[in-house]
Amino acid sequence: MGITFPEGFLWGTATSAPQFEGASTTGGKAEHVWDYWYKKTPELFHNQVGPEHTSDFYHNVDRDMEGMKQLKLNSFRTSISWSRLMPDGSQVNEEAVRFYRYLFKSLHNNGIKPIVNLYHFDMPLSFHKKGGWESRETVFAYSHYACTAFSLFGDLVEDWVTFNEPIVPIEMGYLNDKHLPAIYDMKKAVKAAYHTMLAHAMAVKEFRRQSGVKIGIILNLSPVYPKSDSSADRMAADYADLFFNRSFLDPAVKGTYPDELINWTKELGIVPPVAKEDLAIIKENTVDFLGVNYYQPRRVQQPVKRENGLSLDAYYSSYEWPERRINPYRGWEIYEKGLYDIAVRIKEEYGNLPWFVAENGIGVEGEERFADHNGDIQDDYRIEFISEHLKWLYKGITEGSNCYGYHVWTFVDNWSWLNAYKNRYGLFRLDLNTKERQIKKSGKWFRVLASENELPE
Ligand code: BG6
């Protein structure tokens, strides 16, 4: 006997338009920041492979629908490209409408639930040039885009998501150089984060006005574990949790920002400009569900450098936990119990909100070395990775956590930001030259899991 998941549990894969669609300069699509960045500095991208080199889903919907059926998926999490749907920021591109309507109809016809996200790191270049999330104009433009998408596709899509991992472009773009604008500026980071949250809440408001069915947000929640029980280490963990988890989780689910976060921005003099109506919009427009991306936890200790409050180093330091297991092919820690800890936390601290795993998966550099003589990738490590996470997830569910689905990152190996095709995540392997897709051992295994709704012990 295996482990049986609740009836109707969603078994899906996840991907995003900028990493999967291709056709980055055709079909009326305008440039987004990644197209632009790659054009300017291709050498920053792994093997100089840019966002036009994808599996070209745009021209392969029928073929990939067969792949989804082969996997027995009942859910598919993807995103709409803002710069494709509204290339000039206001007019609708009819070719994009035809493409997305065809996709959502095909999913329906095959019994696969579309979970549709509106934004996956792909800021249209025109808005980036006007300040991106630092500008309130982008907030209104996004809200208009969201409203347009709901009315164009609301008859075909019930489950909507406003943002994927909204903290990532903030952390990687304003406190690091891995996303644009690639600067280090805490004040701008806070402003951009606040505007993203406001855009989210305005989209939820529009959605309810149009009587939409369900809307949520996808957050990368990493449980934070302190190095020791000392008060300094615990305080460091509380800060990391505040910055990376609660800064979006609390306003999205509870409708309010944590007091600690507000006080911190006041102490540093980096309170963002808040208009009179903003906080009421955030308060009144909380989510119906949460999507959680989980890859690895954060392990922290008291800060090594304390002097400068405008640097995160002043609040915590990362540390290498000696017992941790590392994925040798990607360098990320593997800690399956983290998913259980998230399940318990949502139940205990966030009103047992319905939630699903929106991304979980293992990246493998040089995965070709695991191909057998037929070219089939023998990815037993992926099967083990998914199984062990599912066991912990199941424990959380049996203890009452309201989780209703699991999505593997990803369906077909996809392009990923600066890493391009360095790390492969798919249940299908992609041949970058021929665009052929070939099911991996994990894909065949996932098919049985999804069709039986049962994890073999
Ligand atoms: C996730 C993102 O956090 O990490 C994905 O949502 C991304 O967009 C994935 O592709 C894997 O990242 P990487 O750097 O290992 O390719």
Closest C-alpha residue for ligand 1 atom 12? 416
Structure confidence at residue 322 as a pLDDT band (50, 70, 90): confident
Residue 423, ligand 1, Cβ within 6 A? yes
Atom of ligand 1 nearest to the CA of 121: 8
Supply the range of the domain harboring residue 26: 3-455
The ligand 1 atom nearest the CA atom of 410:
10
Cα-to-centroid distance, 106 and ligand 1 (Å): 26
Query: Which residues does the annotation mark as catalytic?
Result: 165, 359
State which ligand 1 atom lies nearest to the alpha carbon of 293: 3
Res 309: pLDDT: 87
Which H or E element spans position 291?
strand 289-293
pLDDT in tens, 202-226: 999 999 999 999 999 999 999 999 9
Question: Is the per-residue pLDDT at 306 higher than 80?
Answer: no
**How far, in Å, are 103, 302, 311 from residue 314 at the CA level?**
47, 9, 6
Ligand 1 centroid to 417 CA: how many Å? 8
Please report which confidence band the pLDDT of residue 289 belongs to, taking 50, 70 and 90 as the band edges. very high
Q: Is 396 in the pocket of ligand 1 (CB under 6 A)?
A: no
- What confidence tens digit (pLDDT) does each residue in 341-379 have? 999 999 999 999 999 999 999 999 999 999 999 999 999
d(CA 45, CA 116): 27
Q: Summarize the confidence of residues 130-144 as an average pLDDT.
A: 98
- Burial state string for 266-278 with b = 16 or more CB within 10 A and e = fewer than 16: eeeebebeeeeeb
Q: The whole model's pTM is what?
A: 0.98
pLDDT in tens, 74-121: 999 999 999 999 999 999 999 999 999 999 999 999 999 999 999 999
For residue 225, how far is its CA from the centre of ligand 1 (angstroms)? 22
Q: What is the pLDDT of residue 43?
A: 98
- pLDDT tens digit sequence for 369-381: 999 999 999 999 9
Mean pLDDT within 161-169:
98
The percentage of the chain sitting over the pLDDT mark of 90, rounded to a whole number, equals 97
Would you state the pLDDT for residue 308? Answer: 85
| Per-residue pLDDT at 249 | 98
Q: Whose CA is nearest to atom 11 of ligand 1?
A: 416
pLDDT of 131: 98
Reported as a single tens digit per residue, the pLDDT across 375-399 is 999 999 999 999 999 999 999 999 9
Expressed in angstroms and rounded, the spacing between residue 414 Cα and the centre of ligand 1 is: 9
Q: Percent of the chain beyond pLDDT 70?
A: 100
pLDDT of residue 302: 97
Q: Convert the pLDDT of each residue in 402-444 to its tens digit.
A: 999 999 999 999 999 999 999 999 999 999 999 999 999 999 9
Average predicted confidence (pLDDT) for the chain: 97
Question: How far are the Cα atoms of 158, 166, 202, 244 from residue 199, in angstroms, in the given order?
Answer: 20, 11, 5, 19
Integer CA distances (angstroms), 93 to 8, 16, 30, 142, 315, in order: 36, 19, 10, 16, 46
CATH number (domain holding residue 392)? 3.20.20.80
Mean pLDDT of 245-272: 98
Q: Which residue, by CA, sits nearest to atom 8 of ligand 1?
A: 416
**Dihedrals φ, ψ of 44, to 5°?**
-75, -20
Question: For residue 416, how far is its CA from the centre of ligand 1 (angstroms)?
Answer: 6
Q: Would you say the CB of residue 75 lies under 6 angstroms from ligand 1?
A: no
Cβ proximity of 145 and 85 under 8 Å: yes
State if residue 122 touches ligand 1 by the CB under 6 angstroms criterion. no
Measured CA distances, 159 to 75, 114, 142, 356 (Å): 11, 7, 18, 12
Task: Give the total number of structural domains in the chain.
Answer: 1
- pLDDT, position 127: 98
**Quick check: CB of 360 below 6 Å from ligand 1?**
no
Ligand 1 midpoint to CA 58 (Å): 20
Among 416, 423, 425, the mutation site with the greatest number of ligand 1 atoms within 8 A of its Cβ is 416
Report in angstroms the alpha-carbon separations of 379 from 66, 371, 372, 457.
Answer: 22, 9, 10, 18
Task: Please tell me the predicted confidence (pLDDT) of residue 247.
Answer: 98
pLDDT at 128: 98
Q: At a CB cut-off of 8 Å and minimum separation 6, what does 98 contact? A: none
Give the pLDDT of residue 326.
Answer: 95
Give the DSSP letter of residue 317.
E
Report CA Rg, the chain.
21
Atom of ligand 1 nearest to the CA of 165: 6
- 51 pLDDT above the threshold of 80: yes
